[in-house]
Amino acid sequence: MTAETVLHNARIVLADEIVEGSLVLRDGFIAGIDAGAGRTGEDMGGDYIIPGLVELHTDHLEGHYAPRPKVRWNPIAAVLAHDAQVATAGITTVLDALRVGMDEDADLTSTDIRKLADAIEDSVQQDRLRADHFIHLRCEVSAPDCLKAFANFDGDERVKLASLMDHAPGQRQFVNLETYAYYYQRKLKLTDRDFKVFCEKRMAESARNSAPNRAVIAAACHERGIVLASHDDATIGHVDEAIEQGVRVAEFPTTEEAARASKEAGLGVLMGAPNVMRGASHSSNVSARTLASDGLLDILSSDYIPFSLIQSAFFLGDVVEGITLPQAVAMVSKNPAEAVGLTDRGVIEQGRRADLVRVRVDDHVPVVRTVWRQGRRVA
């Protein structure tokens, strides 16, 4: 039996315009878009209907699994809690970012990370999840165990994206050592002397491990069809290295120079939605609003606050002149989907998946009222 749903009296956000009318959903896909009031069905009350959001980089899952130091939650329960939060924020496709490569002071281990990946896979197979889940490997290339941890995902077809990261002090995100100290010296409760030793050790690991680990992981990802992302590029040299390694997404460039070079090279430039909402980077790097105003922003990620993704889509046009709602929505749906090869979703058009979100805006805050994945209501 054909399953059909009609959503009428809606403001439908298409790729390049907003139309008032109806959507026809049939067997999990968008079967029709009708302008005007000709059809009847479920009354959307004039609310917006936008494509389901696509999230490429959220490490939010780890916090559900390890909510306190040395505390471990049931991994399936952690996945379900994370899934519920992203889905009710309008995210219908999520790449769960899992760490590959640990510092000796890390609370999580590679075994923990594999448990989470297994819990994701089991939950997909058992149809427990609201959103469509894939995996993004956050590869800390300076870590001594990076390649060993990466090998834990050999043959894992849920991996769609891998980012090449190096959080050693003195470069990329942490050019400013005061910012690095704010993060790590306070977190680890180190004296000034011990912090100096800590930094020297991290920088030595980066010098020893980063280049060879980048090369091995890049080659493996190309062989397996996994999209590569760079992370925290700050200089033209960083961007040149990314281009040479076949990177397609530039995550969180820290300078306008790096963002511009990435954009000119055809990379998708990704920034954090919290950066948009706050008006600045939490680590004092380039503002996402600045990049958007200069035409250098393609993709937004919720990063550490799932709801910030839909917030930023409805807020960006208010703070950056010339950004329309369809353009902002594309940054959280069509653009991220296409960046990782998911061309069946991300935009409202006939034949695409019926991944949709009903949104009302109250006092400049988007209220997610209903979420559909493949035509089925999930939130």
| pLDDT tens per residue, range 169-207 | 656 666 566 666 666 666 666 677 777 777 777 778 787
More confident of the two residues 61 and 208: 61
Which pLDDT score, from 0 to 100, does residue 285 have? 80
DSSP code at position 267: P
Residue 137 has pLDDT above 70, yes or no: yes
Edge-to-edge order in the sheet of strand 53-58:
53-58, 91-100, 132-140, 159-165, 227-231, 249-251, 268-272, 299-301
Burial of 232: CB neighbours in 10 Å, binned 0-12, 13-18, 19+ = buried
| pLDDT tens per residue, range 321-368 | 999 999 999 999 999 999 999 999 999 999 999 999 999 999 899 999
| pLDDT tens per residue, range 86-134 | 999 999 999 999 999 987 667 899 999 999 999 999 999 999 999 999 9
Count helices and strands in the chain by DSSP H and E runs: 13, 16
Token pair listed for 169: 């002090």
| pLDDT tens per residue, range 11-52 | 999 999 999 999 999 999 999 999 887 678 899 999 999 999
Which pLDDT score, from 0 to 100, does residue 102 have? 86
Which pLDDT score, from 0 to 100, does residue 284 have? 64
CA distance 338 to 98: 21
Residue type, 85: Q
Residue 119 belongs to what H/E stretch?
A: helix 110-125
Residues 6+ apart with CB under 8 A from 347: 14, 15, 51, 330, 333, 334, 337
Residue 213 has pLDDT above 90, yes or no: yes
Q: Are residues 252 and 231 in contact, defined by beta-carbon separation less than 8 angstroms?
A: yes
| pLDDT tens per residue, range 271-322 | 999 999 998 776 668 999 999 999 999 999 999 999 999 999 999 999 999 9
Q: Which residue has the tokens 């069509």?
A: 334
More confident of the two residues 282 and 145: 145
Which pLDDT score, from 0 to 100, does residue 183 have? 65
The rounded mean pLDDT for the chain is 92
CB atoms within 10 A of CB 233: 29
Which pLDDT score, from 0 to 100, does residue 320 have? 95
Which pLDDT score, from 0 to 100, does residue 170 have? 59
Token pair listed for 4: 């059909």
Q: Is the pTM of this model over 0.85?
A: yes
Q: Which residue has the tokens 């680990």?
A: 213
Q: Are residues 252 and 232 in contact, defined by beta-carbon separation less than 8 angstroms?
A: yes
Which pLDDT score, from 0 to 100, does residue 159 have? 98
Question: CATH number for the 52-343 domain, one of 3.20.20.140, 1.10.357.10, 3.40.630.10, 3.30.70.100?
Answer: 3.20.20.140
CA distance 116 to 78: 8
Q: Which residue has the tokens 């999930």?
A: 378
More confident of the two residues 377 and 199: 377
CA distance 316 to 290: 11
| pLDDT tens per residue, range 215-264 | 999 999 999 999 999 988 989 999 999 999 999 999 999 999 999 999 99
Residue 145 has pLDDT above 80, yes or no: yes
Which pLDDT score, from 0 to 100, does residue 365 have? 95
Q: Are residues 148 and 109 in contact, defined by beta-carbon separation less than 8 angstroms?
A: no
Q: Between β-strands 48-51 and 42-43, what pairing exists: parallel, antiparallel or unpaired? A: unpaired
